Structure 1
Amino acid sequence: MNESLPIRRAAASLLCALALAAPLTAPAQMPAGTAATADYVVALVNGEPIAASELRARLARIEVPANASLAERTALARQVLDQLIDEKVLLQWAADSGIRVDEAAIDAAEAEVARRNGLSVAELRARLPQAGLTPATLRANLRNELLLQRLREREASQARVSESEIDAYLRQHQAGADPTRTALELAQVLIAVPETASAEALARARQQAEEIAQRARAGEDFAALARRHSEAPEAANGGRLGLRSADRYPTLFWEAVRDLRPGDVAGPLRSGAGFHVLKVLTKRHVDLPEPTVTQTRVRHILLRASDEASQRAAIARLQAVRERIVSGQTSFDAAAREISEDASARDGGALGWATPGMFVPEFEEAMDALAPGQVSAPVVSRFGVHLIEVQERRTVERSPRELRDAVRSLLRERKADEALAERLREQRSRAYIEIREAPQ
């Protein structure tokens, strides 16, 4: 996939860093000899200009080594300009395709940027000059991000993944045992043995490790065993050694667990440090979904909106409702039953336990940003305007069906990326692009 494609799905969160960055230092990032302070047109895409200020702003978000050569800085500037041209081509295509973003959606995205930074919208706007931005440029950036997000969503919605493709993907990535492509997390109990230990002490340590291994295989809590018996530094953390590629574990450990499954116990293993008992916590190909998934129990209040005016009215109404909920004047359950226009109203807005990908991106992004007990600001989606409350979260093992669904989503995203890359190549080949030199 062409990494320059601006197909990010979390527009507000990405622009958060841009909006509240330290003051821009773009002139230092530009190639020497460039007119860094004056604004001028650096490229035209079908007659639409890309300004030097846009290029400087994008370059300012990239860390460049202080000792970078002029050639390296010039190459970076050209690469970033190429990204801006790609974005312009895609934005023009989105507009020609009839994709639109209304002001209410931009309002909601701006409010989300502010909320994630603990600011009001007014406070956010007051801080924008520190990043070389104005409210108008921030809103323009948000509009473009949302347009590109919706363009990508359209491509994803058209991607089709067959059951045979899922089967093939699982076969490919569940087979083999390449340690560089295996994500592995182990927990250990270490019974330390000094180098000068006597044969009797060595035998006692071996017996203790064997007893611990038997208890672990019988189903006893491994973390508790590690906290009680392990002499390794990570004992207080239940013996967890962290998720990493298998080749970053000692060869002794990888050879012992190569053919084991998550939940299995290996050992005792003898090393220079003593005797190790290992439990496999996670073992999967790096290109397979996580074996566990975080689910969110969530509820919402929905007001439907057919046009921009009704969206603004819904946002204002839900903002007032949110203030009443947060201040304790009413409960989320009662407000949902009273005003929500979704079928979930009769259940107090409850949507049950949700897994990633269940909701549209704009809803899911807002939901994921909330801690349990928090209520969102009004969120605009294609269905209307929502208030969202996260009730709790839990981590559960994926069922075989959920694993297949996760692979289906992964393959659909890949197909969408490939389709969008191909569309970009087509659109760019038809575009009139003129690169202009900096004025002397």
Structure 2
Amino acid sequence: MNKPFFSRSLFWPKCSLFLAAFVWAPLSVLAQPSALPIRSADFVVAVVNSEPITNQEVQALSLRLQRDARAQGLGTTLSEIKKLALEQLINDKVQIQQAASLGVVVDEAAINQAESSVASNNQLSVEALRARLQQDGLSVNSFREQLRQQLLLTRVREREVDNRIRISDSEINQFLNEQIQRQATKISSDVNLAMILIGVPENSTPDQIKVLEDRAQSALTRARNGEDFASLAAAFSTTPDRGANGGAMGLRPLDRYPELFVQATSALPVGGISNLVRSGAGFHILKVLQRQSPPTTLLVTQTRARHILLRPSAQLSQAQAMEQLGSVRREILSGKADFAEVARRISQDGSAPQGGDLGWANPGMFVPEFEQTMNQLRPGQLAEPLVSRFGVHLIEVTERRDAPMTDAEQRSLARNVLREGKLEEAYASWVQDIRGKAFIEMRESPQ
């Protein structure tokens, strides 16, 4: 299968959102309170426009950064991690102060939605998430305050950076042309060649070879004079099938033909006939019957899936819904139940009448927690019950294919990729600018 240019990750542009990593991170790597032991009393290590940053804050962030570094196999030292943590805290502080000066606010509804998203991503209810956080020593109020700050950072960045990025049509055109050319170099053209072979037996004398070459030349002359190539293959070819199918070898990639054949036909148009090609088997005459060029549009991997959805309610808890769908999954796998039939009977989604079929979907069409699980499935594979913001799902992937993107899809996604590239540079420049205007006093190095 040809590899599409646009991978699934590109359908969810990062847009400089630290919140994206925070909200969708595993619960174990969410912000830590004071999990790193503090051997001495807390103290101020830096002041940003009269607001302090404490050693305890640096220690807590250092722990998370250290865990991330280990997970990625990085050999960063603790001293380097503490410096990175302090720099991040200073940058966050100046951005939050900038947000306050601009009147950017985050209401309770937005915090509730972010909290719900974290819970769903970890397949927990909000109540279970809060209980888990408290077990880990982080209060609900502290957690919600961290969510508020991350949402605040996101909004001020969107206002001050994202909205200033401009992508021109000429940039999009150039980008698409480059990617289509790159894709074409990775996807070989398929070619259907027909062949007449005048075989040369081993140990043939020069005179015998000359007779066979003259016979091959006669067949070539007649083919170039317009005689039917299939008839000539049947009359002249000494292949085991005696030129069956008119000598056609079928549409196949170039790398499945001998290099001699590729070289002899590379410059020929469809209908063109090669010169005599000499190989160890004898004399070949080749005709190009068909060329299938690489697509002139970018490809996207589409997935066709079906699901059964149960929505938790007063009568059905989330745990009960997961248990019910777990039982359904076992029955389907054992052949005791049919997925489509069960979906029509119990699914609480609009796809129920279609047996849960969601149709062909491009990346990014479903919520991240659903799509992440779906993308990990092979066609015919059934996932374990999954919790999303909409309820509990049982997902099965039925098919997957690479499909050409529409012009609108190509341009939209190209714009996102180009925007992402510009955002990183623009964001770094903006942070440097507002940091340069801030009063920053370094007190003591973190312990």
TM-score (norm 1): 0.50
Q: Which has the larger radius of gyration?
A: 2
TM-score (norm 2): 0.49
The structure showing larger relative contact order (alpha-carbon pairs under 8 Å, at least 6 residues apart) is: 2
